[in-house]
């Protein structure tokens, strides 16, 4: 029998202990704290120890254990793992399989998705559908990234490298029959993509779409293994698509922007968040931001925001929450959640 809806039972996060301030980056590249803060709103980010064998599944494990504890759920109750990342442990297999092994689970399916900054909301939509159809009762949804090891930490790559941090966020998604007094549930999710802009934000190599070998000295020398971004194009599309999709999602539910108690936007650039909030005429106290402390943690951003908002007393049961994300692909998505 299918469930009436799904709900978020608990969230957990983990970031590496090492903090890199903007001043720290200025010793690696020609940049400054003022330059970074003015353009992005970022003050610091967490990076893994570059000399240690640490992948996103290692960060995900710690976030997942915290989420399970918050959800009062035993790991053996998890029936599906959904892992969102753009910085996998290996080219293959998927990081979900590495996480499954580290959790000590057996025969639990593991699904990796590659929607970059939109990954967590895409994953939430997938978990929601599986639970609504009665296929699974509890799903572990994870977003985890180790960006630091694939960034060009020199002046050549500063426009991108200053933006990203490492971290993981996890959520346990479970079934609800709608009997909870606060009405806690995932109300709706809305997914979008436009691949005509795929090369405006991407990593060119390694890949299989080229003639010859995937890895060559020439491609290494050209920096093809580092992320490249057309910042202006990304900025314009992010502002437009996030505000449009949020408006559409609210209208479909007969809601207005003022009906939402808390907004959790993807944290790519504080200027994007400010622009979207201005377009929707949102008061500052309804928008929760984490970019100043964690930078852009891509697929981990939304669950980290949820967890931090709970810790700050900004996210409470019964609240109506709206999430909006935008990332490479281009992909974007929204979610309305009764917390």
Confidence of residue 181 (pLDDT cuts 50, 70, 90): low
pLDDT in tens, 263-316: 999 999 999 999 999 999 999 999 999 999 999 999 999 999 999 999 999 999
97, 117, 239, 323: which one is catalytic? 117
Please pick, among 97, 239, 266, 323, the residue that the annotation labels catalytic. 266
Q: What angle do CA 94, 95, 97 make, to 5 degrees?
A: 75
Q: Class assignment of domain 5-176?
A: alpha beta
- Give the closest residue to 168 by CA, choosing from 11, 9, 4: 11
The sign of the dihedral angle between the CA atoms of 309, 310, 312, 318 is positive
The residues of the chain that CATH labels 3.40.47.10 are: 5-176, 185-338
Q: Pick the catalytic residue from 22, 289, 296, 323.
A: 296
What confidence category does residue 332 fall into, taking pLDDT thresholds of 50, 70 and 90? very high
CATH of 185-338, one of 3.30.70.1150, 3.40.640.10, 3.40.47.10, 3.30.300.30: 3.40.47.10
Mean pLDDT of 143-163: 96
266 is catalytic: yes
**Is-catalytic flag, 217?**
no
Residue 178: is its pLDDT beyond 90?
Answer: no
**Is 296 assigned a catalytic role?**
yes
Cα–Cα distance, 333 to 13 (Å, whole number): 21
Work out the widest C-alpha separation in the chain, in whole angstroms.
Answer: 61
């Amino acid at each position: 029998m299918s469930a009436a809806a799904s709900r978020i039972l608990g969230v957990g996060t983990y970031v590496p202990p090492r903090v890199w301030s903007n001043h720290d980056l200025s010793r690696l590249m020609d940049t400054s704290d003022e330059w970074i803060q003015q353009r992005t709103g970022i003050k610091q980010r967490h990076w893994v120890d570059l000399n240690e064998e640490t992948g996103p599944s290692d960060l995900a494990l710690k976030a997942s254990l915290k989420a399970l504890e918050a959800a009062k759920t035993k790991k053996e109750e998890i029936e599906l793992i959904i892992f969102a990342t753009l910085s996998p442990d290996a080219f293959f297999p998927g990081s979900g399989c590495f996480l499954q092994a580290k959790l000590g689970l057996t025969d639990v399916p593991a699904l990796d998705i590659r929607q970059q900054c939109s990954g967590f909301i895409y994953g939430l939509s997938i978990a929601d559908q599986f639970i609504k159809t009665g296929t699974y009762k509890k799903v572990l949804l994870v977003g985890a990234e180790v960006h630091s090891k694939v960034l060009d930490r020199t002046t050549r790559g500063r426009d991108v490298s200053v933006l990203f941090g490492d971290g993981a966020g996890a959520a346990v998604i479970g079934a609800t029959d709608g009997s909870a007094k606060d009405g806690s549930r995932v109300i709706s999710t809305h997914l979008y993509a436009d691949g005509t802009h795929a090369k405006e934000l991407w990593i060119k190599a390694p890949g299989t779409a080229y003639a010859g070998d995937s890895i060559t000295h020439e491609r290494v020398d050209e920096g093809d293994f580092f992320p490249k971004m057309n910042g202006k194009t990304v900025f314009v599309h992010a502002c437009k698509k996030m505000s449009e999709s949020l408006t559409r999602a609210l209208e479909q539910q007969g809601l207005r922007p003022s009906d939402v108690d808390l907004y959790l936007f993807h944290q790519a650039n504080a200027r994007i968040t400010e622009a979207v909030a201005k377009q929707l005429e949102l008061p500052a106290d309804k928008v929760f931001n984490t970019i100043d402390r964690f930078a852009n943690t891509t697929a981990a951003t939304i669950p980290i925001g949820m967890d931090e908002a709970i810790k700050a007393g900004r996210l409470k049961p019964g609240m109506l929450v709206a999430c909006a994300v935008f990332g490479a692909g281009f992909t974007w998505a929204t979610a309305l959640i009764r917390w």
